[in-house]
Amino acid sequence: MKQGIMAQKAIKQLKYLEKLVENKKIRLAAEWKDKWQILISTILSSQTRDEITIAISNQLYKGYSSIEKLAKAPLNSIKEIIKPINFYKTKAKNIKETAKIILKIGIPKTRDALMELPGVGRKVANVYLVAAHNAAAIGVDTHVGRLSRKLKWTKQNHPHKIEKDLEELFPEKYWNSIN
């Protein structure tokens, strides 16, 4: 972990950003009651604004209120509901397959095991772990990468490298706040 002035400045910047988000009372796409909903909504959220993801997730969960119902849902029905989501055809296929897997084995509890599910990459796995289990992880998406470079927390462009730089810069207790 990088110590000293740079880390102290980064922590102050992060706390300021947290206050901005807190004051706006922004709901994130990964905030759901059930863990399976957190995972599915996080899969849907990639490359899609949270407002759209939340609205579409609400529709999806009205029609399919359990993981069993979602796993058995006709693929075309899922596609029709999530059509406003970017890459909806691929995501529909992935969430249906993920629902089937979850139904059989449950939701994995490690990043590596989560990443074996269709549609789950490192960012989705990290965001899920934070939202569902309060695990220490950093989900690096386009916005985290852009802000991290702008605030000089990293010079990297690759999400995994940005994640590593942020892990070195911030004490673990701040990781969950970054995304």
Residues acting as catalytic residues: 123
Reading phi first (left if > 0) and then psi (alpha if -120 to 50, else beta), residue 170 is in beta
List the Cα angle 18/22/24 in 5-degree steps.
120
The residues, ordered by sequence, that sit 6+ positions from 91 with a Cβ below 8 Å of its Cβ are 43, 44, 46, 82, 85, 119
Burial state string for 33-58 with b = 16 or more CB within 10 A and e = fewer than 16: eebbbbbbbbbbbbebebebbbebbe
Which residues, at least 6 apart from 60, have a Cβ–Cβ distance to it below 8 Å?
40, 44, 70, 78, 81, 82
* Greatest distance between any 2 Cα atoms in the chain: 55
Q: Which amino acid appears at position 74 of this protein?
A: P
> 């990468």: which residue's tokens?
145
